[in-house]
Amino acid sequence: MSLLRVKGLKVHYGGIQAVRGIDFEVGEGELVCLIGANGAGKSSTLKGLMGMVQCSGQVTFGGTRLSNLATHAIAARGLSLVPEGRGIFGRLTVAENLDIGAYTRRERAYVRADLERMYGLFPRLAERRSQLAGTLSGGEQQMLAMARAMMARPRLLLLDEPSMGLAPLMVQKIYQTVADIASEGVAILLVEQNAHLALHTSQRGYVMESGSIVLSGPSQALANDPGVKAAYLGE
């Protein structure tokens, strides 16, 4: 059953059309990737889903239309975005950043329980809970951005380039955590320039070129597609 259904999504930046009327969906508890070259429209797609940019089309989440809702209202309905570049609050502590992630929630006892759950999922953050977020390493900041998004208890987590700029060992840790989150039943839409990593992590995938989806299917089938291999996997 589709949790997220997108029909004819277009994203505009003034007179520039970054996303050209795409259709896709994400099922309950499904991990789906969106791959493509830099500038293909992947990040713009996520921003469009969250109401952060000028867009048109139909976005349905859990049977509810999200079109024309404000970003905070979309987040309150169960979508959380981990943006490219992480977007952490550098002058706040790790704990304060996580508390901000739960701003849409009122049941503080459950929030405290989820805070401890995040520290269990990201032990390094537990060690640094009183540390200013701006002093963390890049990998630690990525962990913090993911944990902050999870504090909202999303039904769908949008991940934008989680491996960008990280050392291979940290990328491995981040993607193990992505798998752990998915195993809890949280649906994930993963935007990733590292197509090899994305396709070997996800169940299904979509390939974007110049603002359009040009190919879709099971991730394993896409990984074996000669065109995808040549364009994105270096094979």
- pLDDT of 124: 95
Looking at the fold, whether 64 and 177 belong to one and the same domain comes out as: yes
Q: What pLDDT, on the 0 to 100 scale, is given for residue 235?
A: 64
Gap between the Cα atoms of 88 and 92, Å rounded:
9
Q: What is the CA radius of gyration of the chain?
A: 17
**Tokens 């002058």 correspond to what residue?**
91
In the beta sheet, which residues pair with residue 79?
156
- Tokens encoding 64: 């509810």
- pLDDT in single tens digits along all 235 residues of the chain: 799 999 999 999 988 999 999 999 999 999 999 999 999 999 999 999 999 999 999 999 999 999 889 999 999 999 999 999 889 999 999 999 999 999 877 777 788 899 999 999 999 999 999 999 999 999 999 999 999 999 999 999 999 999 999 999 999 999 999 999 999 999 999 999 899 999 999 999 999 999 999 999 999 999 999 999 999 887 6
15 by Cβ neighbours in 10 Å (0-12 / 13-18 / 19+) ranks as: exposed
Return the CATH number at 178: 3.40.50.300
Would you state the structure tokens that stand for residue 24, as one six-digit string?
């896709």
Which pLDDT score is estimated for 140? 96
pLDDT at residue 188 in the model:
98
For CA atoms 40, 42, 48, 52, give the dihedral sign.
negative
Structural domain including 163 reads 2-78+154-233
In this prediction the pTM is 0.94
Residues 52 and 71 in one domain: yes
Contact 81, 149 (CB under 8 A): yes
Domain tally, the chain = 2
Q: Are residues 167 and 140 in the same domain?
A: no
**Residues 166, 216 within the same domain:** yes
Q: Residues 45, 102: one domain?
A: no
Q: How far apart are CA 8 and CA 214, in angstroms?
A: 14
User: How many CB atoms are closer than 10 A to CB 154?
Assistant: 20
